[in-house]
Amino acid sequence: MNLVIIDYGSGNLRSVENAFKNSIKTNKLNFTIQVTNELELISKADHLVLPGVGSFPDCKKGLEDVKGLVKLLTNEVINNRKKFLGICVGMQLMVDFSLEKKRTEGFRWLDGYFKKIGKKGLDYLGRDYKIPHMGWNNLQFEYNNHPVLENITENEQFYFVHSFALKSKKPNQIIASTNYSQKIPAIIGKENYMGVQFHPEKSGNSGQKFIYNWLKWCP
């Protein structure tokens, strides 16, 4: 199997690459990994990973600056049913649009839009919630038997860094959520494509379990 991590000038690519390499080596999986923005190599991949760090508009522009990349991704994921994982802003790009800085269109693969997290109430220590949401949180499963959640419990912690949360009218596309002043979708997906708001590459053993589950998932 060939996995491509898409390089469009955004994201901690080395950390993502190392996390996937570690999972592949530890679990003795038959995968090769490439980090590239070359359309020909992306089109030949079996698995696609889109990281994203920074703002939604900047990440979208970075993708658009690679001529033909957005069109190719939609064709490979939606039409050719390649397995896809979006991480953080890579997940956010999968929906209709974001209101970060200005309204910016996403891929429109999944329903919804991203709006800034509200500061509602106090955290468990009685403090005001801080934005961005930065730190460790557990998941609440909305889809208990999804293969990517295998051997992961709701007590396990994952690492989040973000200021915007998904608003969607289609709860069936939400696989798991977290709570930070409000209920926030943490894993979303449909058919062969999936996104995570947390950073699996920074989430220790729990992140490694998720990566392994995603790699062996057969949608």
* Residues with a known catalytic role: 88, 199, 201
Q: How far apart are CA 118 and CA 182, in angstroms?
A: 8
Buried b (16+ CB within 10 A) or exposed e, 56-79: bebbbebbeebeebbebbeebbbe
Q: Do residues 118 and 131 make contact, with C-beta atoms less than 8 angstroms apart?
A: no
Q: How far apart are CA 206 and CA 151, in angstroms?
A: 9
CA distances for 190 relative to 27, 35, 163, 174, 216, angstroms: 26, 25, 24, 9, 16
Angle at 27 between CA 23 and CA 31, to 5 degrees: 70
